[in-house]
Amino acid sequence: MTKQNHSSLINHLFGTEENSWGFLVTTIFDGYGVINVDTPDQSDMNDKFWNMLGFSDDEKPPLSSIIDDKTLSKLSEAYEVSAKNQEERFSQRVRLLNNASKTVTFLFRGKATKLKSNKDRLLFVVCIDIDENSRAYSEINQLKNEYEKVFNGTQDALFLMRVDGYKQFTYLRNNESHQYKTGLTQSFIENKTPRSLLGQEGGEVVSQNYQRCVDAGGPVSYEETLNLPAGERVWYTTLTPIFSNETITHIVGSAVDITERKALENRLYYRAHYDALTGLANRQYFFDYIHQCIDEGKAAFILLYIDLDGFKQINDTYGHVAGDTMLKAVSRRLKKSVTSEDFVARIGGDEFVVLRCDDTNENMETLIKSLHHAISQPVTHQDNAISCGASIGYARYPFDGNNPDQLINSADRSMYRYKTIRDRRLKA
């Protein structure tokens, strides 16, 4: 059949491109044509169909050379079904050979049709290259699988949320690591807001952090402590915004559980800053603190220097365990005798300091008397009542010194003056 005869099948059915049916057929569809089920080589397929198979307009082979008998048999069955019911459309996968003799898969959709002048069984078909769709689908699946491997393979706890407005966010999903470490399953977190998930107070706190990410227009990182079904944990969280047309539509959160690290840091900090026996600030912490007070430009403060009297005799008589018992008792009494704003430290074996904001002389004398009374109370150790006294001196910043060493020396001299006067009175 000549090319003109091929074209006549489509033209007889739909007219030329100049009329409305012809225009619709030639402009809406890509590959299309009329297949003669009885005589395949008498079929009429458009140029796009052949181009989809890699053939040029001048090298179109007979249809029978690119379609097998099994496929023709299926098309014949499709024709019979469609011919019995003109409303019935068929959809059939067909395997064809392209110009490289490789098998490709097309999807044929259409219906049975007839020409008055032709008794052959004709099928009008629209062709879709589903090999390309399959490849695209395969690539999408591959990308999805790779994304899932990254999303769920990382040890970081990842979560995704949608930005709904100012401080308005909705959780969409979380990875397996996040689910394991938080106890929040995917189904539980999905479509919940921070407030519905964490309560009003907790939700408000995390929403403020999420809003900081939106306002910054870039990643933000911070530490947070959250009490979740898996327990209270400390997280180092990084939020990264996702843009669409210059608008932040989503936020990806990545959280690292630093609970153990923070606990270790706290233990190391405590060891570096606090006395192991008494729990008071140690000498180094005291000097750091007094430097901080001076650097912050505090107008005035008072340093009390306390030295225990008779402590050596307790160690010599009852042993060091008794001495430790006394030191711990003195430490508790010092903390009870001062305010929460005062700073108390143990800076030597039996030496303590108290730093407080400037006060009147009258109140200072009252505090010193209170400290003397508290320290002198006996302590029971192995059925023995042991006790010690205290010598207390003080110095005022900046009048008696403008650095820690000067203040310590001034308070120490004040303490020895007190001891000298007391000893003279005792001898008199």
pLDDT in tens, 155-177: 889 999 999 999 999 999 999 99
Asked whether the predicted pLDDT for residue 377 surpasses 60, the reply is yes
Say yes or no: 16 and 110 in one domain.
yes
Residue from 9, 18, 53 nearest 26 by CA: 18
Q: Would 25 be classed as within a structural domain?
A: yes
Distance CA 113, CA 279 (A): 97
Say yes or no: 26 and 170 in one domain.
no
Judge whether 326 and 384 are in contact, CB under 8 Å: no
Helices 361-376 & 320-337, crossing angle to 10 degrees? 150
Give the single-character DSSP code of 62: P
Q: Would 264 be classed as within a structural domain?
A: no
pTM of this structure: 0.56
Judge whether 208 and 167 are in contact, CB under 8 Å: yes
- DSSP of 35-48: EESS-GGG-EE-HH
Say yes or no: 225 and 360 in one domain.
no
Q: Output the average pLDDT for the chain.
A: 87
Say yes or no: 251 and 303 in one domain.
no
Say yes or no: 321 and 232 in one domain.
no
Say yes or no: 112 and 246 in one domain.
no
- Which range marks the domain in which residue 385 is found? 274-427
Instruction: Report the range of poorest mean pLDDT among 219-223, 284-288, 417-421.
Output: 417-421
Q: How many domains are contained in the chain?
A: 3
**Residue 205 CA: distances (Å) to CA of 148, 185, 197, 201, 226:** 30, 22, 12, 7, 10
Sorting pLDDT into bands at 50, 70 and 90, what band is 180? very high
Say yes or no: 325 and 202 in one domain.
no
Say yes or no: 254 and 280 in one domain.
no
Residues above pLDDT 70, as percent of the chain: 88
